[in-house]
Amino acid sequence: MPVEPLSPQEIDERLTELPGWSLEDGRLTRIYRLGSHFAATALVVHVAQVQEELDHHSDLTLGYNTVSLAVHTHSAGGAVTAKDVELARRVEDLAAGHGAH
């Protein structure tokens, strides 16, 4: 089933529900800062588990104590879709549990 891209207005509305997230280069993006490299690595592992569960994968980068995500839907021509918003929401819940800010 094809996934429809969100309009610019829909993206702006969704971003109001996702503090810290922004639209950069056509992708939803967020950088999390954690207390240690171990905490950042643990967050990456949990994000990867959610991505597998949703069958929706982001660009995920691990730094010393940071985790960066860039989310868009390849099957929608690289546009932002409701799938991206759902993934971002799930990641927000995970990050809160890991003490990310």
Is the confidence at residue 1, as pLDDT, over 70? Answer: no
Q: What is the mean pLDDT of residues 7-17?
A: 97
Closest residue by Cα to residue 49 from 101, 97, 99: 97
Q: Which of 18, 16, 41, 11 is nearest to 92 (CA)?
A: 18
Encoded tokens for 99: 């003490």
Q: Taking the domains of the chain in order of start, what are their residue ranges?
A: 8-97
CATH architecture of 8-97: 2-Layer Sandwich (3.30)
Checking if the pLDDT of 3 tops 90, the result is no
Residue 10 has pLDDT above 70, yes or no: yes
With pLDDT > 70 as the criterion, what percentage of the chain qualifies? 99
Residue 43: pLDDT above 80? Answer: yes
Q: Is the pLDDT of residue 2 over 80?
A: no
For residues 70 and 58, the answer to whether their CB atoms sit within 8 Å is yes
Please tell me the distance from the alpha carbon of residue 44 to that of residue 21, in angstroms, as a whole number. Answer: 17
